[in-house]
Structure 1
Amino acid sequence: MMNEQLHIIITGDRGKIFRIPCSRKKLRLLLSASILFLLFLIITSIFSISLFTKNRDYSSRISELKHQLKLSEETIAKHEKINETQRLKLNLQVANLELNNVKQAMAFKEEKEMLMSTAVSELNERSELIEKIMGTIGIHLEKKKDSETGNSGGPFIASQDEARDDLLFRADKYLKTIRAIPLGKPIQGTITSLFGKRKDPVNHKKAFHTGIDFRGRRGDKVYATADGIVKKAFKNGGYGRYILIDHGNGYTTAFAHLQTILVKRGERVTRGQLIGLVGNTGRSTGPHLHYEVCLNKKPINPYKFMKIASLLKKSSSAPSEKK
């Protein structure tokens, strides 16, 4: 059996010899350990190299991302600058539009005031004309009543629209008054007998005519001369078929010798509304319309009302009659 003991001899420079006894078993263990250590170093190196490579890739990607981030920040800053410029331009445009709107509003206001002034002036002229015309038949409007001033107070502020309000009040009152006053002709026929004294057409004696007679043909249309309510619509003795309309303020109109009555008692009518047809009923010598205007149940001459209607039509301030 061979000796298992081995000696490792190490010789120094001075000839000194060192002997290290070592068995084969220990040598194999040492060799195995060395191999394992070498493998560990190799594996560790490979892992380190791989980790280094990955770290280098990550560093490269991080650098690239940082570069992209920088570019993005620069782009965002650029867009923000552009947006700020556009916002300033937009604000300037809005300011210009607002200024233009203010200027336009001021221009509209001046134009409105000018048109209003012109309209008020024209309305005043026409109101004065209407007032003068209506005054010829003794129609005067009541003045606008002042509101009560008791138990009130406060600082005095002059009203710039007082004259305008007063004018509108007058014009409104005149329009309402005109609509309730019998103006114009009830038919378009010619006048055959005027209001007042005359010779009776049947017995040829002296008489008083309480209205105006208009020549017509049977079936000619007869119109109301003002707004009102029908008080009578029936056959009335010598008047024949007869309509009486109450217009308020004491005014009434009557239409006689009709062939046909087209309204009923209690019906509300308006100026220009068709109310009947010309006939020859009652005490009559031929087809015609007898037309009366009464104030407080007293007959008055309808002719001056028809004349006023023509004057009002020229002034363009009264509602036009329906034909």
Structure 2
Amino acid sequence: MSAVTDRVAAFCDRYGLRLPVLEAPMAGACPPALAAAVANAGGMGADGVVLDGPAKIADWVSEFRAASDGAVQLNIWIPDEPVEAPDRVAAATAFLETFGTPGPDAPGPDFADQCEAMLAAEPTVVSSIMGLFDPEYVTRLRERGIAWFACATTLDDALAAQEAGADAIVAQGMEAGGHRGTFDQTAAEATTVGLLALVPRFADALDVPVVAAGGIGDGRGVAAALALGASAVQVGTALLRSPEAGIAPEWAAALDGAAPEATTPTRAYTGRLGRAVRTSYTDAWAADDAPRPAPYPQQRRLVGRFRRGDAPGVDPLNFWAGQSAALARAEPAGDVVTRMWDEARAILA
């Protein structure tokens, strides 16, 4: 218990926390009110900014800081080299047309502009998923006193991130909802290591703190992760039914009581692999006669077009969910993280 307490205390002191629970940076599901509720309870708030331009990033941080002076993380996806796959895009388009008709296209923001906006916002942490920042950007983060957390799903990726200067590694187990953080996205389906195996492997080999993410839905999961060597945990699905999250009723209903086997890894929404609640839409893409989804970001843009059009067969949202979705409660986010930590301390004691 002493080793766990010391490890957790060191992490919390470093990042100004009262409890070692971080909000997962979920793009499109991290309003400032949710992040502020987590931070005000003593944890770390977060936002996933992969879909946000510089003005939106600045506005989000401003609204967060008006509600909290706590710790906050901004997260971005590292872009792949563009994949030209016109045949796959055409096949995915034709398949989506079986669900309805598309609307207008909407290209996403520029990665370099997003990185500049995160620097200007000066959060506690800037985090990456699916790759590494370039050395020059890491240097600029350090100059501003901003920590870098890197998500990893394998030890090789974690060691590469540590070597590149990451201040902490987020160990993402395959139970996690949302997108898988594997650096090589073509190998994402093969990176199916669960959190109970991943955390001690990272903790034994790394010199920087490990943050455990994936399938943590209550204090039992927090206690297990800390006992295995993590310094903190990161939770997403556990917070989605909180009123501050404000997700759509269809998404909240899909989470309510969802069994672990009710979630599935899918590329149907974006072209990158992510865990979501199974629906007729995801099942259609998994059928033997379905085409491969288009690469990212073409698949994301295609799905967005059909959502903006007349396509009732396309899920209105990405129903991201981890395998512990059934543990999520419809209660205030501050109460969720406080309860999780209280339960974990009782178990560890």
Give the number of the structure whose residues are more often strand, by fraction.
1
Q: Under TM normalisation by the shorter chain, which class is it?
A: under 0.3
Scaled by the length of structure 2, the TM-score of the pair is 0.20
Scaled by the length of structure 1, the TM-score of the pair is 0.21
